Structure 1
C-alpha cells in the first residue's frame, strides 16, 4: 500500500497538524518592557504577565530591555517573528513621544506594530528632593526663578513621558531646567533619593513608598483629577497650571503581520486579566487610576493615532529633541 493511501486510513486525530493549525500559544510568550526594572511599566507588566499566563496556559516571561527612551525594546518587538509569541508593553512616552523626538528610528511606529489592547493609565506625580524649598508648584516656580543654576530633572530616557513633562514644567513655570537622562525610572529614582537630582516626574507606583517615607516630596498630580493612591495631593489644575496635564498609559503591541486570531487570543487574555478584581485592586493601590481595557484591538489603534497628534503639539512647544 502506498504511503498516501495509508494516511487516508488513519484517524484524523493522528494525522500531523499543519503549522498554522497548532494551538496558540505553543511555547512561552515574551513580554518586552522597554525600561530597566523598578519603574511603573515594570510594576504593571509583571502583574499582567502572571495573570495572562494563567489564562493562556503558557508562561509570560518579562524581559526588561532598557535604553534610548524605549527604542531598544520597541525595536526588539518590531523585528520579532510575527507569530504572537512576543509582546511589547508600550507606553505613551516610550512608544509615542520617543518616535516624535527621535527622528531616526530603526522601525516605523505605525507600520511595524499591531495593536493588542489598551490597558489603562496612571497620573504622573511631580516630585522634588526634600532639600528643595517647595511644597507646591508656585513655590517651585518662585525658587526656580531665583536660583542661579538650572534645576536638574531626571528622565527615564530621551522622549519618555518624564522627559516631555519635565520640559513642559520648565516652559510653563518659566524656570531653567537641565534634563539628565537614564535607562529607566529605577536609576533616576536612585539618584534623586541620593540628592543628585532636584525633580523627578513619574507614574506614582514606584514613587509612593518614598513619598510616604518623606524621602521624596510630592508637589502635584499632573492632571485634572486627584489620584486614588494619593488622595490628599492636589492637581496641577487646582494649583493654576492646567497645561501640566500628563498621564502614563499602558498598552500591548506585537509585530505587524501577526495573525488576527492570535491577536484576538492575546487581547482576550489581557482584557480578562485587567478586569480580575484582585488585579484591579493591586493596580489601583499601585497608582493605576484608570483601568479601562479596550473592547477590541482596533480601539487601541485609534487611540494611538489620537495620542500621537496630541503629543506632537507638546513636543513642538517644549522644543524637545535628541540631545
Structure 2
C-alpha cells in the first residue's frame, strides 16, 4: 500500500490502533468543599468542627465551608450527607448522638450509621462525667451509696431525654449494680448543670467540656470521669472504673465521614489530609482546651471499627429503657 492510499483512508481506519487522547483529571479537590454539622452554630460540636474545617482546608488547599443542619440529634445532617453525591465534596461531622444513639433509638432513622458512609477519621472524643453539688457528696462511692439507700429517690440531671447523657446515666446505674434513680431530663446541658450548681438537683451527668469550668471554680464537683484513664485536663478527677464501677466508659465523639461510594483515591486523600490536620500541635492543644481528647493515629478502618463498637455498646442500653422515636 503506497503513501497516497494510506493518506486517502478514512480517518477512523487511519487512526485504528493508536491510543486515544486521555482527558486530564483534575487533582482533588479543585473547588471548595462543605462540611455538614448536625447542631447549631456556637455549640461544642460546631466549635470543634469549624476549627477542624479551617485546618483541613489549609492542608487540602481549598476552603471547607461549614453548613449547620441542626435538629433531631444530628439526624437531619446525617440524612443529607448519606444522600449527597459521593465525590468527596460533601463531608459530615458525626457524633454519638447521631450515629450511636439516634440510629438505634429511631424506628426509621433514615440512614444507616455504618453502610451509608465512608469513614475518614476520628478527630476526638469527649468524655462524659458525673458531677454533684459540692455539699452533696465527696466522691462517686458516696453518691452511689445515697442512690442505693434512697431506692430511686435521688435525682440525676441529664441534658435531655434520649441523649448521650441520658444513656450514660442509665449505664452508670446498670454497671453499679442495677441501681434506680430519678433521671431528670433538661433541654440541654447548660440548664442541667446550672440546676446542679444551684442545688435544685444533687447530681448531673454531662460532658467534661460542659462541667470542667464549674469544677475548677468550685461551683460543681466532678466526681468521676467515664474514661479508662484520667484526663490530662483534670488529673485530680478519678475515673469511675478506679472507684469500683467496672466497664463505665461513656463519651461522645467527633468523626469525619463522606458518603458511601466515594472513590477510594478520594477517601485516601481525605483521610491523609485529616490525619495531618488533626496532628497539628496547635489544633491538638485547642482540643484539649475544650476538654476533647485527640485520637492519634486515626485511620478510616479504625474509625469504622469505633463507630460500630459504639453503636453496639449503646443498643442494649437503649432497648432496656423501652424508649423509641417514631
Of 113-122 and 221-230, more deviation after overlay is shown by: 113-122
Are residues 1:24 and 2:25 paired? no
Count of paired positions: 301
Q: Which residue of 2 aligns with 1:70?
A: 74
- Alpha-carbon distance between aligned partners in 1 of 2:83 and 2:186, rounded to the nearest angstrom: 26
**Aligned match of 1:12:** none
Give 2:111's match in structure 1, choosing from 104, 107, 112. Answer: 107
- Structure 1 residues 177 and 287, CA gap change in structure 2 (3 angstroms): same
SS in 2 for 1:81: coil
How far the C-alpha of 1:111 sits from its partner, in A, is 2.6
Does residue 117 in structure 1 map to residue 117 in structure 2? no
TM-score (norm 2): 0.79
1:302 corresponds to 2:305: yes
Q: Give the 5 Å matches for 1:68-217.
A: 68-128=72-132, 130=133, 133-144=136-147, 145-146=149-150, 151-155=155-159, 158=162, 160-173=163-176, 174-180=179-185, 182=187, 187-194=188-195, 195=198, 199-217=203-221
- Structure 2 gaps, min length 5: 1-10, 12-20
Larger Rg: 2
| 1-structure distance, mates of 2:121, 2:28 | 18
Secondary structure, in 3 states, of the residue corresponding to 1:206? helix
SS in 2 for 1:73: helix
- Alignment-derived partner of residue 5 in structure 2: none
Structure 1 residues 197, 116: CA separation in 2 closer, same or farther (over 3 Å shift)?
A: farther
Match of 1:9 in 2: none
Find the counterpart in structure 2 of residue 11 from structure 1.
none
Pick aligned residue for 2:249 from 227, 245, 249: 245
Asked if structure 2 preserves the Cα contact closer than 8 Å seen for 1:112 and 1:256, the reply is: yes
Instruction: Tell me how large the CA RMSD over aligned residues is.
Output: 3.0
Does residue 52 (structure 1) correspond to residue 56 (structure 2)? The answer is yes
**Contact persistence 2:99–2:307 (CA under 8 A):** no
Q: Normalised by the size of structure 1, how large is the TM-score?
A: 0.80
Counterpart secondary structure, 2:209:
coil
1:61 matched to which residue of 2? 65
CA, structure 1 residues 48+78, in 2 after alignment: closer, same or farther (shift >3 Å)? same
Q: How many angstroms does 1:198 deviate by? A: 5.3
* 2:218 is equivalent to residue 225 of structure 1: no
Task: Give a deviation string over 1:243-289, Cα, whole Å, max 9, x none.
Answer: 32213332111112222222222211110011112212222333233
Runs of 4+ in 1 over 6 A off after TM superposition: 15-18
CA distance in 2, matches of 1:198, 1:69: 26
- Contact preservation (8 Å) 2:134, 2:221: no
User: In the alignment, does 2:279 pair up with 1:275?
Assistant: yes
CA distance in 2 between counterparts of 1:191 and 1:246 reads 18
**8 Å contact kept, 1:154–1:180:** yes
Q: Any idea what the Cα deviations from partners look like across 1:88-120, whole Å, max 9, x if unmatched?
A: 111234212321222311122233211112223
Structure 1 residue 149: Cα displacement:
5.0
